[in-house]
């Protein structure tokens, strides 16, 4: 493929992604499905116009950049005030469904494949969360009431954070070859605390520095974004969990008005002037949109349907996840909730960008079973989105008949 052809193709993907988002209102099929299908079409399975190694060494860089962007954008999008309003029910749903997914999926994969237990637990933690980019658009289209909408939105955001923190901790131990569950938990807690303090301090410090020193400078949106890359790189050099640090850095910037209430910080900050405005959030989300578009096409290119065994395992795991969620929501969601809303909550278990990016890290770092881990998770992402979309559309059709 020539350079000019590649450039045209990249531009067309962005246009198509916008069109797919617009079609979602009518088809109820998330744009992610179309993007993955494009990747499958142009990949080795069909046309063979592109393959994973096409990106060469930049593939690892691209994955890491996408990972940092996801973390930062997720952090800035978490509102502490909103979390406090519906934290009880959303937290219960998040934790119980995450544990259920982790236990069921890791056990099934361990029994059905030759992967070691740590790789299976890593996969379980990676797919433990739900995809914000899939859940929220579907929920909006179904026009649920405010309470279930808030619960599902918070669950998708919180579960993504929980999945990131736990899977990052397990991944760090996989790199070091550590296999003790007790030590993994201890290292996870220590790593999370240190990285969280590091990210929070740098986030607040950057906001103050930006306001006091750089308040007249232009293009500060990109500077805040760039600082996230610096934080990740420095943490990686210091063997600190860079992913958690970037996430907390984003949370600190997105909620700087909350921290500004502190008596000490009041002396350095001016509240409203430091809050990320809508332009900032739009800028961050647009970058995330572009990277998400390319990444899911990359996922489609990387799918290897020739490995039928992994595909069957992924189908079984996906089915178990959705069945398990059905039982879990019966115990967590109030019986006073309308049946239609209970059914929708019970099928909102799609996996997305966070899972896909995390699954690529073992292969990127040359760890054992990296190829199998990536393959299983990519399959589960694809299958779970298809299942969620089909079930949501079917439930809505059933409601119309009634």
Task: Give the confidence band of 301 by pLDDT, cuts at 50, 70, 90.
Answer: confident
Residue 142, both tokens = 């179904």
Average pLDDT over residues 221-240: 83
CA–CA dist 360, 370 (Å, integer): 7
- pLDDT for the residue 271: 47
Q: For the chain, first and last CA: distance in Å?
A: 53
- pLDDT for the residue 103: 94
CATH of the domain at 178: 1.20.1530.20
CA–CA dist 9, 157 (Å, integer): 32
Considering only residues 343 and 134, tell me which one the structure prediction assigns the higher pLDDT.
343
Beta-carbon contacts of 282 under 8 Å, excluding residues fewer than 6 positions away, are: none
Mean pLDDT of the chain: 79
Residue 310, both tokens = 């992994």
Instruction: Answer whether 159's CB lies under 8 Å from 98's CB.
Output: yes
**Least reliable range by pLDDT among 89-93, 98-102, 194-198, 264-268:** 264-268
Is the pLDDT confidence value at 326 over 80? yes
CA–CA dist 67, 256 (Å, integer): 23
CA 322 to the chain's CA centroid: 18
Average pLDDT over residues 158-162: 78
Considering only residues 33 and 158, tell me which one the structure prediction assigns the higher pLDDT.
33
Residue 59, both tokens = 């593939």
**Total domains, the chain:** 1
Residue 398, both tokens = 């059933």
CA–CA dist 47, 35 (Å, integer): 15
The model's pTM is 0.75
Per residue in 22-76, pLDDT tens?
777 677 677 778 888 898 888 877 887 877 666 555 566 777 787 788 778 777 7
Range of the domain at 339: 3-401
- pLDDT for the residue 55: 58
Considering only residues 281 and 68, tell me which one the structure prediction assigns the higher pLDDT.
68
Considering only residues 119 and 86, tell me which one the structure prediction assigns the higher pLDDT.
119
Considering only residues 228 and 176, tell me which one the structure prediction assigns the higher pLDDT.
228
Most confident stretch, 31-40, 136-145, 149-158: 31-40
- pLDDT for the residue 151: 78
Is the pLDDT confidence value at 79 over 80? no
Is the pLDDT confidence value at 272 over 70? no
Average pLDDT over residues 227-246: 83
Give the position of tokens 């544990």. 99
**Least reliable range by pLDDT among 100-109, 119-128, 149-158:** 149-158
- pLDDT for the residue 319: 95
């Amino acid at each position: 493929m020539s350079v000019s052809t590649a450039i045209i193709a990249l531009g067309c993907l962005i246009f198509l992604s916008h069109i797919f988002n617009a079609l979602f209102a009518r088809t109820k099929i998330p744009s992610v499905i179309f993007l993955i299908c494009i990747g499958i079409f142009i990949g080795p399975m069909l046309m063979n116009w592109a393959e994973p190694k096409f990106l060469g060494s930049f593939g690892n860089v691209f994955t890491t950049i996408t990972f940092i962007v996801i973390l930062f954008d997720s952090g800035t999008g978490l509102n502490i005030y909103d979390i406090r309003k519906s934290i009880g029910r959303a937290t219960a749903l998040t934790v119980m469904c995450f544990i259920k997914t982790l236990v069921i999926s890791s056990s099934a994969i361990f029994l059905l494949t030759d992967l070691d237990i740590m790789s299976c637990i890593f996969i379980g933690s990676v797919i433990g969360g739900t995809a914000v980019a899939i859940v929220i658009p579907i929920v909006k289209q179904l026009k649920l009431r405010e309470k279930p909408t808030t619960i599902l939105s918070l669950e998708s955001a919180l579960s993504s954070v929980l999945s990131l923190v736990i899977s990052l901790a397990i991944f760090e131990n996989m790199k070091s070859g550590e296999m003790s569950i007790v030590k993994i938990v201890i290292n996870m807690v220590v790593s999370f605390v240190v990285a969280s303090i590091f990210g929070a301090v740098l986030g607040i410090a950057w906001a103050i520095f930006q306001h006091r020193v750089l308040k007249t400078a232009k293009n500060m949106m990109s500077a805040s974004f760039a600082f996230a890359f610096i934080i990740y790189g420095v943490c990686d050099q210091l063997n600190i969990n860079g992913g958690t640090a970037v996430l907390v850095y984003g949370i600190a910037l997105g909620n700087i008005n909350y921290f500004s209430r502190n008596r000490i910080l009041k002396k350095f900050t001016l509240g409203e002037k430091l809050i990320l405005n809508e332009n900032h959030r739009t800028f961050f989300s647009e970058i995330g949109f572009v990277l998400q578009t390319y990444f899911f096409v990359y996922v489609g290119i990387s799918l290897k349907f020739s490995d039928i065994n992994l595909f069957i395992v992924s189908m079984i795991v996906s089915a178990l996840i959705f069945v398990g969620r059905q039982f879990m929501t019966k115990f967590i969601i109030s019986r006073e909730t309308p049946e239609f809303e209970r059914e929708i909550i019970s099928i909102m278990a799609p996996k997305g960008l966070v899972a896909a990016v995390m699954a690529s890290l073992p292969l990127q770092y040359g760890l054992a079973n990296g190829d199998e881990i990536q393959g299983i998770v990519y399959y589960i992402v694809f299958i779970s989105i298809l299942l969620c979309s089909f079930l949501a559309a079917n439930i809505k059709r059933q409601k119309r008949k009634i």
